[in-house]
Amino acid sequence: MTTIALPTSTLAFPANFVFFPDQNIKRRSAVEPATLSQKSFLPQFFLVGEIVPGWEVIQPIALDIQHDEDGSVLVSDDSFYTYGCGETVQAATHDYAVSLSEYYKILSSHDDRPSQALFNLLRQYLRPI
């Protein structure tokens, strides 16, 4: 698997922010919702390490890349159903990282059973540093 480090100056990504593209992914002919049991056929990469200041992905998260008709980029995961959008993959990934860290904060503040189950899953992938 090839590791690609993206430029950090434009979006102020931490120096150790790394993408792991999956070279064996085929494109879908149409965008379809995926479930946890489905393998994505969208272009995909893995997110790991410090994603925004104060937050670290401790277990790689697979992100799908989709390009909208207006040229914008959407990255999303099939585990937490979180997404980010932007003009580039880097911008969309940054938006995703902010959304994921906010999701962590929201889930941590709820004490109901479903939220706690989701929070326990998310804590296996993301932690504050």
Confidence at residue 27, expressed as pLDDT on a 0 to 100 scale? 38
Considering only CA atoms, which of 115, 124, 108, 89 is closest in space to residue 13? 89
Give residue 5's pLDDT: 42
Percentage of residues in the chain having pLDDT higher than 70: 69
pTM: 0.69
Per-residue model confidence as pLDDT tens digits over 30-84: 333 444 444 557 799 999 999 999 999 999 999 999 999 999 999 999 999 999 9
Contact 75, 93 (CB under 8 A): yes
In terms of DSSP bridges, do strands 126-128 and 18-21 run parallel, antiparallel, or are they unpaired?
unpaired
Q: Which two tokens stand for residue 89?
A: 């993959």
